Each structure stands twice: as structure tokens, then as C-alpha cells.
Amino acid sequence: MFGVAISVVCLWLALRGTNFDQIGQTLAQSQLWLGLPLLFSYMLFYWIKAIRWRMMLQPMRETHARELFTPMMMGFFANNILPAHLGEFVRMYLGAKMLGLGNAQVLATIILERIFDFLAVVLFLGIALILGGRVSEQLASIGYGVALTGLGLLSITVIFATYTKAFLTVMHKVTLFLPARIQKKILHHLEISAMGFDSIKRAKLLAGIIATSLLQWLLIGACIYCGLLAVGIEAPASASFVVLAATVFAVTLPAAPGFFGTMQLAFTLSLQPYGIGESQAFAASVVFHSITYLSVTLLGIYLLRHLGYRLGELRQQVESAEVEVEATAAPPDSRT
């Protein structure tokens, strides 16, 4: 219920100041043919994501991107219809079952994936604010800080992967001031993350992971740009990467399944610096969100039937696997 409340509040904020007639008129006059390149880029995004996941899993198990595509898409489908971002654990459970790996091992690669997603999006946001134009000097200055933050976080990630034990020891000392429950949870997730870091210790795999991370988010930027063009928004291409960063943040919020409300608010807020009105921005969010949501959901329904699962049964098994993972990492003081 909390997530639903967040979505309702965000939807209200996104609609505040809009004109429903103008939204309807904008959608009626939209160039729907631009939905085709949007959909193509979106599906290509997921295929490249599967290729990157294969590279992250390679030190544990050799596999093919086409085999990983199904559990990956099932995870994103679950995020569209199940609460509490359960899709990550759906993907973990199905991936582990298919590959014959432990749930925690697979979850570790998903955490690593999220780290590189964040780094790529932050880097694109920094570049967009610095070079994009039509933003204030203050925002451009923020862009330099954002880009440097992304590079700094990448360096920390590589250090963590290379000197894992030393890093965990330092983190154990740094977090001593926190309540024991919070400290244990932080160290627990760091230990699980470390299981999936073998891939970035190999230069070739690290280069591939960085390249695919940048390419896939470049494609999503292109998807958003198509959505803007479809409703007649004339904004620099860099604006789509500002919207991208806002939507990535929006989907991390504890919202209702499908990210309704948070996605719309991300569009309306991030397009304001470019002089785009709320009604037009809301219409663009509807075009982008409807195509991306429906494509993943319909594909997920097909895959669910193909795998022979009932949704309730799959959810029960995934929740059991999630509980198992919570007990995976050893307590910090038991490490040798």
C-alpha cells in the first residue's frame, strides 16, 4: 500500500498544472510511427543487457545471451505486475535454476549490473548537462560534479573488486558507529556483491561490460528522444539523457508495480529546464511508458505460459529463495 500511495502522490504532482484537453490533443496528434524505432531500440536494449549479463556470469558459468534472455525478461515483467521490486529476485531464481548456480551467486551479478547501470546513467547525465545547451550555467556546473562522481564510483568499484577483503575490513570499521542491524545489512550486501565481481577483475570482460553498459543506455536515450519527437517536443538530444537519469531514479522508488506516477513525474520535472510545459511532458511520458510497459508485459505473459508457471506459484518460490539469500553471507567477524 505504501508503494501505491507513492505512485498516487507522484501522479498528482505530475498532473498538477497540466491541461487534460491539451494532453489529449497532443496524444491525438502524435506521430505514432515513431513508436516503431522506439520499440526496436527498447528490445535491442534488452538483448545487449543479456550479452552483458553473460559476461558478468562468465567466470562462474559459460552460457549464451539467448539463454539468459528469458529469465531476464521474466524479471522485468515481474517488476511490472508484482510489488516491492520482486522482479530482481524472479530473475535471480530463474537464472540460478537454469544455470545450476546458487541464488546468491546470480544475485551478485545482478547487483553488479545495477552498479554499472548507475555509473553509465550518471556519466551520460554529466555529459548532457555540460554539453547539451539550453540549461543554466548552474546546471552545467552540476554536470561536471555528476560526471566526476560517476568516474569516482567506477574507481571505487574496481578497487572493491581487486582488494575485496581489505575493502570489507575497512567498511566494517567505518560502519561501527551505525546500529548493529544496519551495519550487518550493509556488510551482508557487500559480501553478496563481491561474489559477482570476478568478471571485472579481467580486463577484457571489464572493457566489454563498460562498452555494453554505455551502449544500452545510449539506446534508452534514443528511445526517450523518439518519445519526445512523437508528441512534437523540440528539445536537444541531450534532454533525453536528463529525462533518462530522472526515470532511472524514479524506478528505484517504492512505487506501485509498473512505476506508474513516478515515471510521469520524472518526465515533467526533468523537462522543465528546457521550457517544456507539463502537459506536453506528460503526453511524452504516456507514449514512452505505454510502449515500454506493454511490450515487456505481453512478452512476460507469453514466457510465463511457455515456462509452465502460474504467477502465484512463481512468486511463492521466489520469496522462499529471497529468504534463503538473506542468510547467505557470513557475519563479518567470521571472515578469515
Per-residue pLDDT tens digits for 211-257: 999 999 999 999 999 999 999 998 888 899 999 999 988 888 878 88
Mean pLDDT of the chain: 86
pLDDT of residue 83: 78
- Domains of the chain by residue range: 41-334
Residue 23 C-alpha cell reads as 494532453
Q: Convert 179-228 into a string of H (helix), E (strand) and C (coil).
A: CHHHHHHHHHHHHHHHHCHHHHHCHHHHHHHHHHHHHHHHHHHHHHHHHH
The Cα–Cα gap between 259 and 87 comes to 13
pLDDT bin (cut points 50, 70, 90) of residue 332 is: very low
296 Cα distance to chain centroid = 14
pLDDT of residue 138: 57
Largest CA distance in the chain: 66
Q: Is 273 exposed, middle or buried (0-12, 13-18, 19+ CB in 10 A)?
A: middle
Question: In sequence order, which residues have a C-beta less than 8 Å from that of residue 151 and are 6 or more positions away?
Answer: 123
Residue 90 C-alpha cell reads as 524472479
Question: In sequence order, which residues have a C-beta less than 8 Å from that of residue 139 and are 6 or more positions away?
Answer: 129, 273
Q: Is the pLDDT assigned to residue 137 strictly greater than 70?
A: no
The Cα–Cα gap between 253 and 258 comes to 11
Q: Is the pLDDT assigned to residue 136 strictly greater than 70?
A: no
Q: Is the pLDDT assigned to residue 336 strictly greater than 50?
A: no
Q: Please, are residues 55 and 116 in contact by the beta-carbon 8 Å criterion?
A: no
Residue for grid cell 551478485? 108
Per-residue pLDDT tens digits for 151-182: 787 788 778 878 888 888 888 888 888 888 88
Lowest mean pLDDT among 174-178, 182-186, 313-317: 182-186
Residue 147 C-alpha cell reads as 560526471
pLDDT of residue 102: 86
Q: Tell me 301's DSSP state.
A: H
The Cα–Cα gap between 336 and 324 comes to 23
Q: Is the pLDDT assigned to residue 128 strictly greater than 80?
A: yes
Q: pTM value?
A: 0.86
pLDDT of residue 191: 78
